[in-house]
Amino acid sequence: MNDPGPTRLVLLRFLERVQLRDLERTRRWIADEERREAEHQRGIEAKLAPPDWLVEHGHGRNSMAAASADMSAFPSQMPTEKALMTTDDALDQLRHIARERAFGRHVGSDRLIQAGLDALIAGVESPSLAMLAGLLRSEEPEAPELFDQVLEELGLLFHPPADPRAAKWEMAYWIAGQIADGSLDPATGTHLIWADIAYDLGYPEELKPLVHCAHNLDGWEESWGVSVEELNREAVEAAKQFLSKRSAAKAGD
């Protein structure tokens, strides 16, 4: 007879043991992430000043201290108490992290291991998945290689364009897609496009509407007479327009 493998109850008990054992590690991750966010914010504040065209035409002032362009604002970044994922949810999370890493974002071993645990409990099958999910604190350096191995086994490896500018554009489309489908907060997404993409590309015309939205959401005040919800809707619409222009260009090729 074929071995049916571990039951769901066995897997849940395994997950419980891992989480109890790693409570201290989680607290260390939180401390490390708080330090990293503070360092990143200081870098953003030193790096960005709104261009003249944005200051002249934007609603508000630049209040960089009120916002952070770190990917930590992305959903499911740190281990949290949550409902068990479906298989599709777990695979989507693996794809998302694969793109973050491919676009040069820092993804700690904590997230890689947690994604492995989520996928294992959700019933994803991969020869290396259990090894990734069960890594101990002393084995954390092995997580990136094992994560890539899991991606390869599942056919989820992602390679951005080799040209740095082309990779920035691909990242912009990826972030805009998440703003448009509601999986990423508009303020976070547009700020990422401003801080990590548009700035480096020299503020191309195609990205100016999204940068404009980021600036407005960053400096919003009640006295403007426009709600933050309306600004969010404008950002979603700007993201959709940005994506539609790419679709139209592809259709014309």
Q: Is the pLDDT of residue 5 over 70?
A: no
Domain that holds residue 1: 1-83+158-253
Q: Is residue 62 part of a domain?
A: yes
For 70-224, where are the alpha helices, taking DSSP H only?
A: 87-102, 109-122, 129-133, 143-154, 164-181, 186-193, 199-201, 208-219
Taking residues 200-223, report their average pLDDT: 91
Residue 121: C-alpha distances to residues 11, 104, 117 (Å) = 6, 28, 6
Q: Is residue 64 part of a domain?
A: yes
Q: Is residue 148 part of a domain?
A: no
Domain count, the chain: 1
Q: Is the pLDDT of residue 58 over 60?
A: no
List of residues 6+ apart from 193 with CB closer than 8 A: 172, 175, 176, 207, 210, 211, 214
Q: Is the pLDDT of residue 142 over 70?
A: yes
The mean pLDDT of the chain is 81
Lowest-confidence pick of 63-72, 96-105, 155-164: 63-72
Q: Is residue 195 part of a domain?
A: yes
Q: Is residue 203 part of a domain?
A: yes
pLDDT value, residue 68: 42
A 10 A CB-CB count for 97 gives 23
Taking residues 50-68, report their average pLDDT: 48
